[in-house]
Structure 1
Amino acid sequence: MKTLMSLIVFFSLLFTAGSAWAMGTVNVNEADAQTISRALSGVGMARAEAIVAHREQNGPFTSVHQLTQVRGIGSRTVEQNLDRIVVGAQGQQE
């Protein structure tokens, strides 16, 4: 019984730690695709790579809402991640 309880606690902490990582902020003008996909909810590797490709082709994002110009990133995804996305220096969300 103690072993089962220990396993439950272990996995609970494991999943909570992953969520805490996802709750950090990410500067989409500087981060690589892997970092973006880890930090943003609803953004997998393909969409994160699209964000990086868009940034490389069109220059840095000047507004969080410009992310909707990236194929596969809608306003709902942006709204869900507003507190995690940074586009400017020094933590500006603009």
Structure 2
Amino acid sequence: CGILRAAKLNIADFFKELPQFVVKAGPILSNIYGSDWESRLEAKEMHANAIHLKILSKYYKRVFGEFFVAVDNVEKNSSVAVQASDYHRFGWLLFLA
């Protein structure tokens, strides 16, 4: 993730460019790491996981909004907004566990 931030790439752009990287760097990486370098990289699995997490995140945001944000809209306090953000993150981590 640090590499993506340093390169100013989001994860969608990274996975969009990855097949081109594999084609261009494949022969070099095969010589260095062996013929199974692509399976060791686990890029396809990471891509599938990223897609699933994106879908789950959209679902969670919608459900969180339906259950919690509607109740908190009565109070328009900035501290409530901070607490709601903390609750959102905590709930997301629980949801993933």
Same fold (TM over 0.5): no
More strand by percentage: 1
Q: TM-score, normalised by structure 1?
A: 0.30
Q: TM-score, normalised by structure 2?
A: 0.30
More helix by percentage: 2
Which structure would you say has the larger RCO, counting Cα contacts within 8 Å and 6 or more residues apart?
1
Which has more radius of gyration? Answer: 2
